Amino acid sequence: MIDFYYWPTPNGWKVSILLEELQIPYKTRPINIGKGDQFTPEFLRISPNNRMPAIVDHDVDGDPISVFESGSILWYLAEKTQRFIPEDILRKKEVLEWLFWQTGNQGPMGGQLSHFVNYAQGEHTYSHQRYFNEYDRCLGVLDRRLENQPYIVGESYSIADIINWPWVLIAKPLGASLDKYPSLNAWRSKIKERSAVKRGVDLGKDLRRQGPPSDHERKILFNQTGKQLISPSTN
C-alpha cells in the first residue's frame, strides 16, 4: 500500500495518473494547501520542501520509504514496477532528461504564469508577459519534439509523457493556445482519452477550490520565507 499525499493540481495529477496507470493499491491523504496542511511537522518529515505530492511506500522490506518531489516519485514508481520506462539505456536516459526538463522548465514557468493569471492582485504586466512567454516557449519545445513521433520518447508512452501532460492540459486557462502547436495538441488529446488519465485528473475533484483564494489562503500559499513557515497552529 502507498500513502499518497495529494491535492488536485497539475503537480498532483502527475502522480495520481501514474498510480492509476500502474493500478497499484494506494490511499489518498489530502493535503489542503490553502489551509496549510503542508506545514505540519508530520508532513514535513515526509516532504521537507513543504510541497505536495509525496508518497510513503509501505510495500517494501524494512521501514516504509518516503519520496517527495513529483519527478522523483515518478522515477521511483517506474523503477519499482519496471513500467513506463524503457529498458534501453539510451531511451531511459532520454526519459530522465525530460523529467528534469519538466521540473526545471515547463513546471516552474507554468506555475509562475498560473500565479499571475489566477492569484496575483493588481497589475503585473511585465511579470505576466515574462512567464507567459517562457511557458509558450516550453510548449514550442514539446511541439518540436513530437513532430515526428507519437510520444516524447519515441514510440512508447512513458513517465516523460505523464510528467509533462498536466501542465499542457491547462494551457487554455493559462491563456495559451495550442492551435499553433498541432503535434502537441494531438498528443494532448490522445493522452486525455486514456482511462487512467481521466481517473487521475478526477481524483479529488470535489476538493478543488471554487472561486478566488481568500486573503488567509494567499498568506499561507504565497508569503513564506526561510525563517517564517506558517502552519495551521499559528494562524
pLDDT in tens, 36-75: 999 999 999 999 999 999 999 999 999 999 999 999 999 9
Pairing of strands 54-57, 65-68: antiparallel
Residue 229 scores a pLDDT above 90: no
Please report which helix (H) or strand (E) contains residue 110, including its range. helix 107-118
Q: Distance between CA 207 and CA 28 in Å, rounded?
A: 12
SS3 label, residue 210: coil
> Kindly report the CA angle at 85 between 179 and 48, in degrees rounded to 5?
90
**Range 154-177 average pLDDT:** 97
Percent of the chain with pLDDT over 70: 97
Residue 232 scores a pLDDT above 60: no
Residue 199 scores a pLDDT above 60: yes
Residue 230 scores a pLDDT above 60: no
Q: List the domain boundaries for the chain.
A: 2-83+210-234, 89-198
Residue 214 scores a pLDDT above 90: no
Residue 114 scores a pLDDT above 90: yes
Do the beta carbons of residue 68 and residue 51 sit within 8 Å? Answer: yes
Task: Return the CATH number of the domain spanning residue range 2-83+210-234.
Answer: 3.40.30.10
Residue 111 scores a pLDDT above 60: yes
Do the beta carbons of residue 201 and residue 17 sit within 8 Å? Answer: yes
**Range 193-215 average pLDDT:** 91
pTM of the model: 0.94
Residue 164 scores a pLDDT above 80: yes
Report the CATH fold assignment for 89-198: Glutathione S-transferase Yfyf (Class Pi); Chain A, domain 2 (1.20.1050)
Sheet containing 26-30: which strands, arranged edge to edge? 26-30, 2-6, 54-57, 65-68
